[in-house]
């Protein structure tokens, strides 16, 4: 690449400075967009925040006609369906991660790992469609169906990250345990679970973050009824689902504003959960991993 | 004494076997949903797929024939729009992070990208609604593309940064030593070397947004007609599948299965290809 002699050294330096500035501005647009998102959503939610105050979170009335809104059934549905998902996905995810990272030496393990990863690539809407026609007849359109579909969707997250975490435990720990005569189970109990503990917790919490914000699949199977019921076979409703169902049709400003406030509650919950997960994962596998 | 020790040894061995069996069963259960979902979609969707499905507009309930042609085109247009927003920000931002982002500012921007990655896509849809749909006074492809573009950004930023950092520093220095200015070395040498890897990252991000529904239902909305105007509502495969899936009509359900089959083949196909391809280009 020959240099154009008419371009002086000084001009090249300014061009370098320009390049740096332009790329920086594009990079800077990411936090700015994030800030804009928060500002605009809070602005939209202000009418609802002003009218209902803190009572919004504790009220379970949702009546667009009388314009009284409360978030409690949705918060409850979001938390409980995610909890059911964790109860199912955590043992399966950790178990399969242990099998793939520590136990299996056979060749199928590569294929099994790819298959679990592919679970994460299937679009939410397709899980929803499958859920309506397969889980629906089994468990009804209910909290349980929502939890099960969420479990399938977060399983690959938990499995993939905890697999990385197990792998990051130094081999010397495992070899030491084995040299003392430990069986494979004892090796994992003694030498792997200890150093991997916070990473595993991080993987679980990251899975929780995914479950909380997941929309379509849950919307299609959870039954969409804003009631707090003790039975997991009863229909329920989540924050994301009510937004998906009602946002496009919100007829009044207060109604729209209340839905945006639900979105902000969801945003806050997921931000806290994801932040916690990130800290825990950083502690074990270092900051360079993309999760 | 000897007997007790043997018993203990036997117990430990049993525990170990139980553990091995348990983790193996966990893995099997974990892959079952994939097989269930795929086989179910193949079974239900294959019968409803024909040439009309790709070329024709949706028909009203009860009328035979018809397809999702407009939704397939719509999804492609929305992906292009998303790339128009996600790629410049993601790639140029990633270049800055890789080359100049070691300090506090870099950490802050990287952290923002992580936070953005964790935001539920439905909330991003609300943002696009408040920012664009309310101002324009109607649902539009632009708003949908904007929302999908935002969703792409974190993936593109991270892969660009990682892959540019993988290019050996000596290559950059060699370029400078030849008298090539820094920006040109970055774009013409470093970026080109990293490009194949970055491209796989882009394809993965595209595969992901192709399957997004939540950010589109109140931004791009839907339409049963051919639509090419960016300031008008636009059909997408995912929203069309959603509307068909929750309808009470059997022939619409069949269309939903067919749409899912096409979508899943596209998405899983790209994902698998990219995986295969990215194994070949990895270096460092």
DSSP symbols for A200-231: HHHHHHHHHHHHHH--HHHHHHSB------S-
Residues in A 241-260 with any Cβ partner in B closer than 8 A: 243-244, 247-248, 259-260
Greatest distance between any 2 Cα atoms in chain B: 86
Tell me which residue has tokens 């100049």. B100
> Are B245 and A128 in contact (CB < 8 Å)?
yes
Taking the CA of residue A163 as centre, how many other CA atoms within 13 Å lie in the half-sphere pointing to its CB?
A: 25
Q: Which residues of A touch B92 (CB under 8 A)?
A: 22-23, 26-27
> Are A94 and B26 in contact (CB < 8 Å)?
yes
Asked if the C-beta of B88 comes within 8 angstroms of chain A's C-beta atoms, the answer is yes
How far is the CA of B258 from the CAs of A12, A171, A217, B247, B272, in angstroms? 56, 48, 18, 15, 21
Asked if the C-beta of A114 comes within 8 angstroms of chain B's C-beta atoms, the answer is yes
Which pLDDT does position B283 carry in this prediction? 40
For B132-168, what is each residue's pLDDT tens digit? 999 999 999 999 999 999 999 999 999 999 999 999 9
**Mean of pLDDT values over B228-248:** 93
Could you tell me if residue A44 is inside a domain?
no
**Mean of pLDDT values over B121-130:** 96
> Are B22 and A95 in contact (CB < 8 Å)?
yes
Taking the CA of residue B81 as centre, how many other CA atoms within 13 Å lie in the half-sphere pointing to its CB?
A: 24
First to last CA, chain A: 39
How far is the CA of A214 from the CAs of A154, A223, B112, B220, in angstroms? 10, 15, 21, 19
DSSP H or E run through A63: strand A62-63
Which pLDDT does position A279 carry in this prediction? 87
Pairing mode, strands A68-69 and A62-63: antiparallel
Q: What is the CATH number of the domain that holds A203?
A: 1.10.3720.10
Domain that holds residue A205: 62-285
Picking from A26, A95, A214, the nearest residue to B26 by CB comes out as A95
Q: Is B122 exposed, middle or buried (0-12, 13-18, 19+ CB in 10 A)?
A: buried
How many Cβ atoms sit within 10 Å of the Cβ of residue B9? 12
Q: Minimum mean pLDDT among A247-251, A285-289, B39-43: which range?
A: A285-289
> Are A30 and B112 in contact (CB < 8 Å)?
yes
Could you tell me if residue A291 is inside a domain?
no
**Mean of pLDDT values over B251-260:** 91
What percentage of chain A exceeds 70 in pLDDT? 95
For A240-284, what is each residue's pLDDT tens digit? 999 999 998 888 889 999 999 999 999 999 999 999 998 888 877
**Mean of pLDDT values over A17-46:** 96
B282 falls in which pLDDT band (50, 70, 90)?
A: very low
Could you tell me if residue A74 is inside a domain?
yes
Q: Is B2 exposed, middle or buried (0-12, 13-18, 19+ CB in 10 A)?
A: exposed
Integer Cα distance of A143 and A20 in angstroms: 51
Q: Which residues of B touch A154 (CB under 8 A)?
A: none
Which pLDDT does position B284 carry in this prediction? 32
Which pLDDT does position B1 carry in this prediction? 55
Q: Is the pLDDT of residue A67 over 80?
A: yes
Could you tell me if residue A280 is inside a domain?
yes
Q: Minimum mean pLDDT among A141-145, A287-291, B246-250: which range?
A: A287-291
> Are B30 and A260 in contact (CB < 8 Å)?
no
Which pLDDT does position A245 carry in this prediction? 94
DSSP symbols for B137-152: TS--HHHHHHHHHHHH
For B76-105, what is each residue's pLDDT tens digit? 999 999 999 999 999 999 999 999 999 999
The answer to whether A79 and A146 are in contact (CB under 8 A) is no
Asked if the C-beta of B25 comes within 8 angstroms of chain A's C-beta atoms, the answer is yes
Which pLDDT does position B274 carry in this prediction? 86
DSSP symbols for A117-136: HHHHHS-HHHHHHHIIIIIH
Token pair recorded at residue A83: 């909890």
> Are A247 and B89 in contact (CB < 8 Å)?
no
The answer to whether A233 and A140 are in contact (CB under 8 A) is yes
The answer to whether B149 and B85 are in contact (CB under 8 A) is yes
pTM (two decimals):
0.91
Q: How many CB pairs under 8 A join A and B?
A: 263
CATH topology assigned to domain B53-281: MetI-like fold (1.10.3720)
Domain limits, chain B:
2-48, 53-281
**Mean of pLDDT values over B187-193:** 93
Chain B residue with minimal CA distance to A223?
B246
Which pLDDT does position B79 carry in this prediction? 97
Tell me which residue has tokens 């996600």. B86
Rg over alpha carbons for chain B, rounded to the nearest Å, is 25
Integer Cα distance of B141 and B149 in angstroms: 12
Chain B residue with minimal CA distance to A209?
B118
CA dihedral A42, A46, A49, A52 (to 10 degrees): -150
Integer Cα distance of A59 and A51 in angstroms: 13
For A102-125, what is each residue's pLDDT tens digit? 888 888 888 898 899 899 999 999
Integer Cα distance of B27 and B157 in angstroms: 33
DSSP H or E run through B73: helix B69-100
More confident residue, A2 or B45: B45
Could you tell me if residue A206 is inside a domain?
yes
Could you tell me if residue A241 is inside a domain?
yes
CA dihedral A36, A37, A40, A41 (to 10 degrees): -160
Could you tell me if residue A129 is inside a domain?
yes
- Characterise A181 by phi-psi region: left (phi > 0), alpha (psi -120 to 50), beta (else): left
How far is the CA of B209 from the CAs of A106, A126, A207, A254, B71, in angstroms? 35, 14, 20, 31, 14
The answer to whether B213 and A127 are in contact (CB under 8 A) is no
Token pair recorded at residue A177: 């345990």
Within 8 A by CB and 6+ apart from B59, the residues are B65, B66
**CA distance to partner chain B, nearest, from residue A80 (Å):** 18
Report the candidate in B33, B79, B69, B63 with the shortest Cα–Cα distance to residue B49: B69
Which pLDDT does position B264 carry in this prediction? 95
Could you tell me if residue A185 is inside a domain?
yes
How many Cβ atoms sit within 10 Å of the Cβ of residue A266? 26
Q: Minimum mean pLDDT among A176-190, B44-58, B207-221: which range?
A: B44-58
Which pLDDT does position A290 carry in this prediction? 43
Q: Which residues of A touch B180 (CB under 8 A)?
A: 1, 3
**CA distance to partner chain B, nearest, from residue A277 (Å):** 11
Q: Tell me, what DSSP letter sits at residue A247?
A: G
**B177-180 LR contacts (CB < 8 Å, sep 24+):** B178/A1, B179/A3, B180/A1, B180/A3
* Count of structural domains within chain A: 1
Token pair recorded at residue A150: 């969420």
* Axis crossing angle, helix B141-166 with helix A9-52, rounded to the nearest 10: 130
Integer Cα distance of B224 and A200 in angstroms: 47
Picking from B92, B122, B213, the nearest residue to A22 by CB comes out as B92
What percentage of chain A exceeds 90 in pLDDT? 70
For A252, list phi and psi in degrees, rounded to 5.
-115, 165
Q: Tell me, what DSSP letter sits at residue B66?
A: -
The complex scores an ipTM of 0.91
Q: Is the pLDDT of residue B34 over 90?
A: yes
């Amino acid at each position: 690449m020959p240099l154009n002699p008419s371009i002086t050294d000084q001009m090249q330096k300014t061009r370098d400075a320009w390049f740096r500035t332009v790329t920086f501005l594009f990079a800077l647009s990411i936090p700015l967009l994030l800030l804009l998102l928060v500002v605009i959503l809070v602005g939209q939610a202000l009418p609802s925040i002003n009218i209902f105050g803190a009572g919004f979170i504790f009220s379970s009335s949702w009546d667009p006609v009388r314009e009284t809104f409360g978030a409690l059934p949705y918060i409850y549905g979001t938390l409980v369906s995610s909890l059911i998902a964790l109860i199912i996905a955590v043992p399966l995810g950790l178990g399969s991660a242990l099998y793939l990272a520590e136990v299996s030496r056979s060749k199928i393990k590569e294929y099994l790992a790819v298959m679990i990863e592919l679970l994460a690539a299937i679009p939410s809407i397709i899980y929803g469609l499958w859920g309506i026609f397969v889980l629906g007849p089994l468990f009804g359109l209910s909290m349980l169906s929502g939890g099960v579909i969420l479990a399938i969707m977060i399983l690959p997250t938990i499995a993939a990250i905890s697999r990385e975490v197990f792998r990051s435990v130094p081999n010397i720990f495992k070899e030491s345990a084995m040299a003392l005569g430990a069986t494979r189970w004892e090796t994992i109990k003694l030498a792997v679970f200890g150093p991997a503990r916070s990473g595993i917790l991080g993987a679980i919490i990251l899975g929780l973050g995914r479950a909380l914000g997941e929309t379509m699949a849950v919307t299609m199977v959870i039954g969409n009824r804003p009631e707090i019921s003790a039975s997991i076979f009863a229909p329920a409703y989540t924050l994301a689902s009510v937004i998906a169902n009602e946002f496009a049709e919100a007829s009044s400003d207060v109604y729209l504003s209340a839905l945006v406030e639900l979105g902000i509650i969801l945003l806050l919950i997921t931000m806290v959960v994801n932040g916690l997960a990130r800290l825990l994962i950083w502690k074990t596998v270092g900051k360079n991993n993309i999760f | 004494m000897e007997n007790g020790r043997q018993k203990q040894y036997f117990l430990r061995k049993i525990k170990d076997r139980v553990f091995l069996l348990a983790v193996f069963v966990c893995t099997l259960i974990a892959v079952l949903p994939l097989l269930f979902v795929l086989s179910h979609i193949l079974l239900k969707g294959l019968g409803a797929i024909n040439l009309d499905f790709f070329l024709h507009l949706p028909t009203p309930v009860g009328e035979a024939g018809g397809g999702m042609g407009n939704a397939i085109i719509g999804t492609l247009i929305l992906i292009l729009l998303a790339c128009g927003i996600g790629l410049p920000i993601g790639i140029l931002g990633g270049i800055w992070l890789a080359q100049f982002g070691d300090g506090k500012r870099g950490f802050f921007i990287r952290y923002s990208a992580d936070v953005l990655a964790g935001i539920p896509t439905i909330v991003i849809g609300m943002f696009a609604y408040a920012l664009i749909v309310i101002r324009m006074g109607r649902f539009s492809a632009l708003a949908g593309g904007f929302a999908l573009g935002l969703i792409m950004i974190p993936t593109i930023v991270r892969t660009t940064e990682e892959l540019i950092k993988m290019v050996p520093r000596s290559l950059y220095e060699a370029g400078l030593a030849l008298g090539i200015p820094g920006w040109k070395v970055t774009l013409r040498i470093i970026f080109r070397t990293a490009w194949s890897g970055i491209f796989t990252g882009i394809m993965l991000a595209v595969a992901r947004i192709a399957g997004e529904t939540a950010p589109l239902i109140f931004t791009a909305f839907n339409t049963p007609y051919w639509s090419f105007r960016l300031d008008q509502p636009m059909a997408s495969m995912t929203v069309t599948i959603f509307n068909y899936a929750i309808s009470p009509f059997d022939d619409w359900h069949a269309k939903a299965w067919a749409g899912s089959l096409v979508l899943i083949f596209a998405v899983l196909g790209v994902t698998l290809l990219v995986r295969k391809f990215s194994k070949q280009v990895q270096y460092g």
